[in-house]
Amino acid sequence: MRVLVAEDEPVLARMLGTGLRREGMAVDVVLDGEAARDLTELTDYDVLVLDRDLPGVHGDTLCRSLVASGARTRILMLTAAGTLHDRVRGLGLGADDYLCKPFEFPELVARVQALGRRIAPVTPPHLRRAGITLDTVRHRAERDGRTLSLTAKEFGVLRVLMEADGGVVSAEELLERVWDAHADPFTGAIRVTMSRLRGKLGTPDPIRTLPGTGYALC
């Protein structure tokens, strides 16, 4: 899942970015409305975690314009104002959900995941292929009954390959769905992650490399 966090409190923004990445999401973080607006024009995010009181471009303005553009991005609005009137107004702007500060991080994660499921194709809780079983709810993986200890990136790559059900997944799609805006396509991050994933999956190697095209799971 690709997430943008737009929050002007640096400590909170950093905490949200780090925490959501640990949940296996590709997360970009910005501290003002102008940066958030620019990134939403360039990237098709699944979820925007939006602080309502952003400097530069106000969160209300950004929410309204994003909804008017027809973007598929779901919006979780954050605010310190927690009255019923504030919540109704925020949802009236087009936000999909509303969370008042202070909040518990597990609740934010659950809400982001729920919003992401609204736009993503329905994925079975367990994916199976080539002797591999992927538990998408508990983030667990096995091959032929052997538990696989995967990093968040390795799990994300494997999930994308298994969801493709044998179809070819390009390097660009992997960068878009598993990494974030700071990922440099020339660093070899995909190649390194793929090599480590293959090592953990063992033999026979279930991943095919199609030069110039991408990767596929046998």
Lowest mean pLDDT among 4-8, 55-59, 112-116, 137-141: 137-141
Whole-number Cα distances in Å, 126 to 66, 88, 123: 34, 37, 8
The mean predicted confidence, pLDDT, of the chain is: 88
pLDDT at 64 over 60: yes
* Residue from 152, 163, 154, 90 nearest 122 by CA: 163
pLDDT of residue 85: 66
pLDDT of residue 173: 85
Architecture of domain 126-217: Orthogonal Bundle (1.10)
Domain with CATH 1.10.10.10 in the chain: 126-217
pLDDT per residue over 131-159, tens digit each? 999 998 788 999 999 999 999 899 999 99
Location of structure tokens 């990922």: 183
Helix (H, G, I), strand (E, B), or coil: what is residue 29? strand
Q: What would the CATH number be for the domain defined by 2-119? A: 3.40.50.2300
Helix (H, G, I), strand (E, B), or coil: what is residue 187? coil
Structure tokens at 60: 């209300």
Supply the pTM of this predicted model.
0.62
pLDDT of residue 94: 85
Residue 118 — very low, low, confident or very high, per pLDDT cuts 50/70/90? confident
pLDDT per residue over 88-109, tens digit each? 676 778 889 989 888 999 999 9
pLDDT of residue 184: 63
pLDDT at 59 over 60: yes
| Helix ranges, 23-167 (H) | 33-42, 59-68, 84-92, 105-119, 152-163
Q: Which amino acid is at 58?
A: H
Region 45-74: mean pLDDT is: 92
pLDDT of residue 35: 95
Domain with CATH 3.40.50.2300 in the chain: 2-119
pLDDT of residue 124: 66
Burial 16-55 (b: 16+ CB within 10 A, else e): bbebbbebbbbbbbbbebebbbebbeeeebbbbbbbbebe
Share of the chain above pLDDT 90, in %: 57
Considering only CA atoms, give the Rg of the chain.
19
**184 Cβ contact list (under 8 Å, min separation 6):** none
pLDDT per residue over 21-37, tens digit each? 988 888 999 999 999 99
Whole-number Cα distances in Å, 195 to 45, 170, 189, 198, 213: 28, 16, 10, 5, 17
Q: Which helix or strand (DSSP H or E) is residue 100 part of?
A: strand 97-100
Work out whether strand 132-135 and strand 126-129 pair parallel, antiparallel, or are unpaired: antiparallel
